[in-house]
Chains A and B, each alone.
Chain A
Amino acid sequence: MKTFGPGRWKEAVVAVAIAATIANTGCKKKDVDPFPVSGAVAGWEKTGDTRVFAAKDLWQYIDGGADQYLQAGVVSTGTSDYKYQGELEAVVDVYTMGNAAGARKILDSGQTNDAQKVQVGDAGIAYEQSVTFRKGPYLVRIVAYDATPGAQQALIALAHGVEAKL
Chain B
Amino acid sequence: MKSRREFLKEAATGVVLLGSSAAADRLTLAGVLKDHAAVGKSKVVIARDASLHGAGTQPDEQHVLNLLDEAMSAYTGREKPMEAWKSVIPKNILAGGVIGLKVNGLGGRGISTHAALTMAVAERLQQAGVHAGNIVVWDRNERDLAACGMAISTDPSRVRCYGNDAGGFDDEPVSWGTANIRLAKILTRECAMVINLPILKDHEAAGITFSMKNMYGVVDKPFTLHANHCNPGVADLNCVPAVRGKVSFTIGDAISSVYDGGPGFHPERLWYPNALVVGEDRVALDYTAWQMIEQKRAEVGMPTLEEAGRAPKYIATAADSAHQLGTCDPNRIKLVEV
Contact = CB atoms under 8 A, between A and B. Distances in A.
Interface of A: 59, 62-68, 89, 91, 110, 112, 114-115, 127-130, 143-147
Report, as a range, how many residues of chain B touch the other chain.
20 to 34
Contacts of A127: 267-268
B246 interface: no
Contacts of A67: 204-205, 226
Contact of A128 (B108, B109, B226, B268): B268
Contacts of A64: 203-206, 209, 213, 216, 226, 230, 263
Interface string B202-235: 0111100100010010000011001000100000
B267 A143 contact: yes
Interface in B100-139: 106, 108-110
15 contacts: A62-B264, A63-B106, A63-B222, A63-B263, A64-B206, A64-B226, A64-B230, A65-B264, A89-B109, A110-B261, A112-B268, A112-B269, A128-B267, A145-B267, A146-B57
B106 A62 contact: yes
B262 interface: yes
B201 to A, nearest CB: 9
B266 interface: yes
Contact of A145 (B106, B110, B204, B226): B110
A114 B108 CA distance: 24
Contacts of A62: 106, 263-264
A145 B110 CA distance: 6
A65 B204 contact: yes
A144 B260 CA distance: 17
A91 B269 CA distance: 17
B265 interface: yes
A153 B316 CA distance: 45
9 tightest Cβ-Cβ pairs between the two chains A and B: A129-B267, A127-B268, A59-B223, A64-B205, A65-B264, A145-B110, A67-B205, A65-B204, A64-B263
A145 B269 CA distance: 13
Nearest to A127: B268
B223 A130 contact: no
Interface in B244-295: 260-269
Contacts of A63: 106, 216, 222-223, 263
